[in-house]
Structure 1
Amino acid sequence: MTIDTVRAEPTDRRREQRGWYFYDWACSVYSTSVLTVFLGPYLTSVAESAADPDGFVHPLGIPVRAGSFFAYAVSLSVIVAVLVMPVVGAAADRTGRKKPLLGAAAYVGAAATAGMFFLDGDRYLLGGLLLVVANAAQSVAMMLYNSYLPQIAPPEERDAVSSRGWAFGYAAGSLVLVANLVLYSAHDSFGLTETAAVRVCLASAGLWWGAFTLVPLRRLRDRRSRPEEATAPGLRQLAATVRGMRRHPLTLAFLLAYLIYNDGIQTVISQASVYGSEELGLGQSTLIGAVLLVQVLAVAGALAMGRLARTYGAKRTILGSLVAWTVTLGAGFFLPAGAPLWFFVLAAGIGLVLGGSQALSRSLFSHLVPPGKEAEYFSAYELSDRGMSWLGPLLFGLTYQLTGSYRDAILSLVAFFVIGFILLARVPVRRAIGEAGNPVPEKI
């Protein structure tokens, strides 16, 4: 897909950029409060209340261990997102009307999240359905949101604009988590039971998402599409892009390495709270505090890894972060139950490598994209990212189903970082950049 060059006056461009930041502010609360903190443990407890004496629930007649239900639902949501994203992306390119599609995806996700208020008793199927809808809608909306960046910022501004949007998201996540922590910890003072407080926290994320989405919908503008910019329908366009990428096998080799280790990263993010609550017996307040620590240290870690990349190159820095991920997960396997301090140490380790691993991976990939193919390749990057990120939750869920141990499940994720390390180490990035037709930086 081709994207218009920025032509707006500086004042109009700044206004549109500020509106763009606010979508990250709006939707990051879902990722942080819902997906990372509250929904995993809560939906697991709802499934357990509906389980048979052997600990299994039976959606569509399929026996599923209650402790695996959340992980399977996350996997299903990603599969749904991958099927929908190419279709929506092609429609956005053909019509030039991204904003209505962004609004539709955002409000479907926000409504599903707000509907989690009604998730109580043994309604695990309702919880699974709302999770699939909200997570898939969030993926589609983020794809459209990211595609605005080249339209609202000229090349010299994109790093700064992208970083500010990322910072807005982390700031919103931290702010709402603090409010969640107050509400959850003092739920008696508010006249709420513990489960009611969790349901309010879940629903409030949907209301936040919907309310602040109004800002980007007011400030972002659609660009008229040109006939030559039309793309093939969804999956055919993705297939054509992948076929074209075969002319750059080293770029594909990096993309494969990234997809594998990023799948591990995404699974740790989504399953860490389940591990903390179910295996380590930690309370919700501890989990919220740990996620807050991750949020704060992710910013510091990204800045520190950026400095390391200037000295040692992005590839070496990413490889070092994958070693750190492996050590962190290995340490997580041995964490004693009921020891919040050591869980905070684990959270600190995750936070220090989280932001930098993903930020440097994106910047390194940008060097491997042939000139004139930026939007098309990053579209495949986003779709492929979502397409692979069902495998980690599936492995986590299967490992728990087969062993009954969350420790074994968390340790199984080490495979993603080890394999990703090996594949990335084998990519000659300097040659890959040259073959893509780009100048090779002094440090890469």
Structure 2
Amino acid sequence: MGIDTVRAGTAGEAAGRRREQRGWYFYDWACSVYSTSVLTVFLGPYLTSVARHAADADGYVHPLGIPVRAGSFFAYSVSLSVILAVVVMPLVGSAADRTGRKKPLLGAAAYTGAAATTGMFFLDGDRYLLGGALLVVANAAQSVAMMLYNSYLTQIAPPAERDAVSSRGWAFGYAAGSLVLVANLVLYSAHDSFGLTETAAVRVCLASAGLWWGVFTLVPLRRLRDRHTRVEGAAVTPGLRQLAATLRDMRRHPLTLAFLLAYLVYNDGIQTVISQASVYGSEELGLGQSTLITAVLLVQVLAVAGALAMGRLARVYGAKRTILGSLVAWTLTLGAGYFLPAGVPVWFFVLAAGIGLVLGGSQALSRSLFSHLVPAGKEAEYFSAYEMSDRGMSWLGPLLFGVTYQLSGSYRSAIISLVAFFVIGFALLARVPVRRAIEKAGNPVPDTI
């Protein structure tokens, strides 16, 4: 009877863990539509066109009196969103670890982002400042919510399962992005049939992403559980003092910081490609919105397969080697993108296919690998630093992209400048002894890592 009781308890615990994992997947299902439809496809070209409509005779807009080339406004807005996220994320992360109440904070961040995204329906005419403000709020909120979401990984999956669970989460997100992009493509391509102008169709697509985000966030909020892991005397620590303590604590784990630095560099490049690819396609290559949507849809479909396939490769070769291989592929793909001929969609589709095959896996495995390097009880704090460069929240890449375009007037020069992030990131990651880093963090080392 005792053995049967233990087995029943173990089976019940496993069933509860799987239920939480399925709920966790659904947040990627909810929020990835924002990253895909809004950040990657519609908002870049549309906000750029709104800014150009408001620009002076020399092609500049003047937010707060600062002269900004209209073609750089979107990239600068992405960078500004990261500055806000950098301030907010460590404070929210330390509060989540202090109180153990991640779920209410996740809900608050998610619905702030969903509301800002839904508000993009009102972005028309020359309201480029409204678009920039909504983008900053939505991106920062997305960053905070993803930090909290990622920090659940260590709680819902034991070490041996994390690569697979993380990869399934990314696959869920890309599947949702594909589904909604098909609907977007139908609406945008046949907007006349729906009684909409082209501009109105774009605004409906933007707002619908916010509604999708809000509705499906209900699933993880019902299934995920709060866990109180750090309670002794920490609740009275002011937020800024806790942030300083977190930074001091991270210095005690230099190998974890070494991985984080590598990740921040190469993921900055990944996220900048994601957020600026549609601008490159429309402005430099002269491709239409329907072509861009189709290309991103191709990325989404192949990213599902790529995430799952790279998860399987990690079981054989380890997450670190698989990520390094993906960075080589990113470098080659981006280099090829520089030479794409204008006005030829087929080569843009080939480029999209290359990006899709490595996109999901490189992100999913980076998340699961980092989860092994985080000291127990400090997940949200450490993932706040991790999230500073995730999901299009990078700041240096968009800034470099925008400055390069502002100085050169060429999006080809801007896109090739991003190769540096992948080369430097590869070199930094190759030097990290991940097994020793996991041991130093006090965590069990998986057989293959």
1:177 Cα deviation from its structure 2 partner: 0.4
Distance 2:306 2:123 in 1: 36
Give the TM-score, by structure 1 length: 0.90
Evaluate the alpha carbon distance shift between residue 149 and residue 357 of structure 1 in structure 2; reply closer, same or farther with a 3 A threshold: closer
Give the secondary structure class of the aligned counterpart of 1:300.
Answer: helix
**Alignment check: 8 A CA contact 2:170 2:304 kept:** no
- Which stretch of the first structure deviates more once superposed, 164-173 or 396-405? 164-173
Contact 2:94 2:381 in 1 (8 A): no
Matched, 1:339 2:344: yes
> Which residue of the other structure, out of 365, 371, 378, is the alignment partner of 2:370?
365
**Which whole-Å CA distance do the structure 1 matches of 2:214 and 2:106 have between them?**
12
The aligned residue for residue 181 of structure 2 is 177
Q: Cα deviations across residues 370-427 of structure 1 (Å, max 9, x unaligned)?
A: 5676565444433465898211001101111111111111011111111112222333
Pairwise CA distance, 1:223: 4.2
- 1:224-239 aligned at under 5 Å gives the runs 227-228=231-232, 230=234, 232-239=237-244
Alpha carbons 1:242, 1:380 under 8 Å: kept: no
- How far 1:359 sits from its partner (Å)? 2.4
**After alignment, is 418-427 or 312-321 more displaced?**
312-321
Q: Choose which of 302, 306, 310 in structure 2 pairs with 1:305.
A: 310
Match of 2:90 among 86, 89, 92: 86
Q: 1:382 aligns with which of 372, 379, 387?
A: 387
Inter-CA distance 22–367: structure 2 relative to 1 (3 Å threshold) = closer
How far apart are the structure 1 equivalents of 2:403 and 2:278? 18
User: In the alignment, which of 405, 414, 417 is matched to residue 409 of structure 1?
Assistant: 414
Residue 101 of structure 1 is matched in structure 2 by 105
Matched residue, 1:3: none
- Secondary structure at 2:217's aligned position in 1? helix
> Residue 423 in 1 paired to residue 428 in 2?
yes
| CA contact 2:150–2:383 (8 Å) conserved in 1 | no
1:352 matched to 2:357? The reply is yes
* Residue matched to 1:248: 253
User: Which amino acid in 1 is paired with 2:41?
Assistant: V
Does residue 323 of structure 2 align to residue 318 of structure 1?
yes
Deviates more, 1:152-161 or 1:197-206: 152-161
Q: CA 1:278–1:249 in structure 2 vs 1: closer, same or farther (change >3 Å)? A: same
Name the counterpart of 1:258.
263
Asked whether the equivalents of residues 36 and 271 of structure 1 are also in contact (C-alpha less than 8 Å), the reply is yes
Alignment of 1:274-313 (within 5 A): 274-313=279-318
| In 2, Cα distance between equivalents of 1:74 and 1:395 | 12
Residue by residue over 1:342-381, the C-alpha shift from the partner in whole angstroms, topping out at 9 and shown as x without a partner, is 0011111111111222223233334444567656544443
Query: Cα deviations across residues 151-210 of structure 1 (Å, max 9, x unaligned)?
Result: 445556555544433332112111100000000011111111111110110011111112
Separation of aligned partners in 2, 1:160 and 1:255: 21
Distance 1:374 1:334, change over 3 A: same
Instruction: Name the counterpart of 2:57.
Output: 53
User: For 1:227, what is the secondary structure of its paired residue?
Assistant: coil
5+ residue gaps in structure 1?
1-5
Which whole-Å CA distance do the structure 2 matches of 1:238 and 1:384 have between them?
18
Q: How many residues align?
A: 439
C-alpha deviations, 1:52-93, integer Å up to 9, x for none?
111100000000000000000001111111211122223333
- Between the aligned partners of 1:242 and 1:286, the Cα distance in structure 2 is 45
- For residues 269 and 380 of structure 1, the distance between their equivalents in structure 2, rounded to whole angstroms, comes to 20
Contact kept? 1:43, 1:70, Cα under 8 Å: yes
Moved more, 321-330 or 378-387: 378-387
**Which AA in structure 2 matches 1:365?**
F
Specify which of 20, 26, 29 is matched with residue 30 of structure 2.
26
* Structure 2 segments unaligned to the other structure (5+ residues): 1-9
CA contact (8 A) 2:330 2:358 kept: yes
**Match for residue 143 of structure 1 among 147, 151, 165:** 147
Superposed CA deviations along residues 31-54 of structure 1, whole A, max 9, x for unmatched, are 110011100000000001111111
Question: C-alpha displacement at 1:259, in angstroms?
Answer: 0.9
The letter of the residue matching 2:300 is: Q
Structure 1 stretch displaced more, 71-80 or 214-223 = 214-223
Contact 1:59 1:125 in 2 (8 A): yes
Question: How far apart in 1 are the matches of 2:242 and 2:390?
Answer: 16
Q: Is the Cα contact below 8 Å between 2:166 and 2:367 reproduced in 1?
A: no
1:65 alignment partner AA: R
Question: In 1, Cα distance between the equivalents of 2:16 and 2:155?
Answer: 12
Residue 138 of structure 2 is matched in structure 1 by 134
Q: Which residue of 1 aligns with 2:75?
A: 71
CA distance 1:324–1:103, shift in 2 (3 Å): same
TM-score under structure 2 length normalisation: 0.89
AA of the residue aligned to 1:364 = L
Call closer, same or farther: CA 1:284–1:310 in 2, change over 3 Å: same
Q: Distance in 2 between the 1:217 and 1:361 partners?
A: 25
Moved more, 382-391 or 320-329: 382-391
What is the identity, as a one-letter code, of the residue corresponding to 2:367?
A: R
Number of the residue aligned with 2:3: none
Indicate the SS of the match to 1:326: helix
Match of 1:269 in 2: 274
Q: Any conservation in 1 of the 2:36–2:177 contact (CA below 8 Å)?
A: yes
Cross-structure match for 2:191? 187
* Matched position secondary structure for 1:228: coil
